[in-house]
Amino acid sequence: MSERAGVEVRLENLVRRYGTVTALDGLSLTIAPGELVALLGPSGCGKTTALRLLAGLEQSDEGRVIVAGEDVTDLPANKRNIGMVFQAYSLFPHMVAWENVAFGLQMRHVGAAERKKRALDMLELVGLGSHANRYANQMSGGQQQRVALARALAIHPQVLLLDEPLSALDAKVRSRLRDEIRRVQLEVGITTLFVTHDQEEALAIADRVGVMQAGKLEQLGPPTTVYSRPATPFVADFVGLTNRLAGNVKNGVVEVRGTQIPLVQPDVADGPATALVRPEAVTLVGNGDSAGGPLVGTVIAVAFLGAVSRVTVDLGDTTVLAQLPTADAGNHPAGSKVRLALRPDPVLIDRHD
């Protein structure tokens, strides 16, 4: 598999309109060879449209699609050599798994023996060698999507497109298949664009994450940067949870209820603003411990999330979410008084409130 080096993909100023609605509004994006970029955003933000334009399943109104230095904007989908896994189960129901995988090779006039061998190899790659003779309706959703992945890779595509391939699966299978996709992608070394509305999925799998809103790319960067240094309030809100706390900006620092917090973008005018504080930047101690922080509140709910728990604290005029290890959250049952402090991690401010 290693002979297949990825290629560079460039989307240049793509515009796509549906009547009066602009689904993509000048999207530009460069994906490095072998890189996995995840496009993340709410429904209708244009991420699937971008993917379909790259696949050739739709035509852009403006802009260009460049794959491996070649302008493929006007090429139909069947001439682009791009593999795709769809959100809906897309295996051909009248074919068994290996015939599905071999379909693309048949379209490329590969000999019968060779295409069966390659199809079986691809099924082995996704761990379904023993399912080669099963029909789609004899496989689980996760198995079907793995066969679809093998089918997309069997044609040796230049680019792999994944259109929310995990969204129809249950949580456990989704998590396992997500890791499987990443393993296969790294093994094959193929340039990949992954579209999802699930932030956890995007952050876990991608080399870079692009957050989209209203047809535009709000931010593109490594998952840690997108999470910890969101470029816009929308990104901060969409990726992870945020507390919106009133504060006052002065000299590149925002003061929130007595705590001075540095800003991600310090070059802003002084004045009132809403600070966007992550729940994990909020710490809690019992009310009796005065070192716990200047703010006092009442715990109104504790949500158990496994290793961590999310505690909702009522400060009187607002509520604050704090995320802490479940073992610590056990010390703060609903109804208990707590002291609360804000860790001075750099935050973003929003002045639209």
> Which CB sits closer to another protein, 79 or 250?
79
> Which CB sits closer to another protein, 32 or 173?
173
DSSP 238-277: HSS--EEEEEEEETTEEEETTEEEEBSS----SEEEEEEE
The total number of residues written for the chain in this structure: 353
Mask 89-108, x = binds another protein (CB under 8 A)? xx-xxx-x------xx--xx
Order across the sheet with 216-221: list the strands. 82-85, 159-163, 191-196, 36-40, 208-213, 216-221
Q: Which one of the spans 9-17, 148-156, 182-190, 206-214 is the region binding another protein (CB under 8 A)? A: 148-156
Q: How far is the CB of 143 from another protein (least distance, A)?
A: 7
The helix (H) or strand (E) run that includes residue 114 is helix 112-125
Q: Answer yes or no whether residue 172 interacts with another protein by CB under 8 A.
A: yes
Q: Which one of the spans 85-93, 114-122, 184-192, 205-213 is the region binding another protein (CB under 8 A)? A: 85-93
Q: Is the alpha carbon torsion for 58, 63, 66, 69 positive or negative?
A: positive
Mask 109-128, x = binds another protein (CB under 8 A)? ------------------x-
Q: Which of 4, 86, 308, 350 binds another protein (CB under 8 A)?
A: 86
Pairwise CA distance, residues 181 & 196, whole Å:
14
Q: Which one of the spans 86-94, 198-206, 234-242, 271-279 is the region binding another protein (CB under 8 A)? A: 86-94
Q: Answer yes or no whether residue 143 interacts with another protein by CB under 8 A.
A: yes
Pairwise CA distance, residues 2 & 325, whole Å:
42
Q: Answer yes or no whether residue 304 interacts with another protein by CB under 8 A.
A: no
Q: What Cα–Cα distance (Å) separates residue 76 from each residue in 58, 73, 80, 229, 311?
A: 9, 8, 7, 39, 52
Q: Answer yes or no whether residue 183 interacts with another protein by CB under 8 A.
A: no
Q: Answer yes or no whether residue 69 interacts with another protein by CB under 8 A.
A: no
> Which CB sits closer to another protein, 92 or 304?
92
Comparing CA positions, the residue from 145, 153, 147 lying closest to residue 130 is 147
Q: Which of 118, 146, 208, 229 binds another protein (CB under 8 A)?
A: 146
Q: Do strands 271-277 and 282-286 pair parallel, antiparallel, or not at all (unpaired)? A: unpaired
